[in-house]
Structure 1
């Protein structure tokens, strides 16, 4: 093989590597818009400033807004519900969840069951008492 042909082969391989390196990494599947089981809240998940996973309330029903106001939270929309989650292992995220009507934050785990569902658990007493909800993806 001539030097020119080798140079073309190497240039082609290098170009393919650079092109692959420039392809943005797919965001984790947990990023998106999710609704709680009663469809009274919608949360948009995404990256926090520190690179962890967070989620803010982007929509709330009138009933959910009233319950939050009664608990002393003036505006539910914009509240960061999911805080500082990091991937523990494939499909498991560990962080903290804020419960607006209790005005408390609990240790939490998110497991993506299917592309369209998340199970979000909040725990008290060192993880001994936990409550889970299955949230669904919103288009």
Structure 2
């Protein structure tokens, strides 16, 4: 059994047919219209309603379902839109689990754990360069 996935479509003017509002078909959008391309390559523009008031959907929803809006929790995408968060990381992200398991391994090393060796090599290189410079200086005199 397959689940039905609803798709928002626009019946494009000028015989453009029904065009799904998806990244492959949405070419451009402005406050006045959207420009769409159908599967055949026909490009059409679809105007926004003349009396459209942006942001009215939330107010309308609050009028109809006031109890739901009181319980509204700002998480995920809605928190990003409300500038309460800059990103959203899904729970159980495999990358984070790999990172945790890697750092728990006994043979795990970081650059911090190699800092002493790095400093030792830098000092050795510095001393060798000083010796080389002093020898070159001695030969030119």
TM-score (norm 1): 0.19
Structure 2-normalised TM-score?
Answer: 0.19
Structure with the higher fraction of residues in strand conformation? 1
Find the structure with the greater CA-based Rg. 2
**Which has the bigger relative contact order, CA under 8 A and spacing at least 6?**
1
**Bigger fraction of residues in helix:** 2
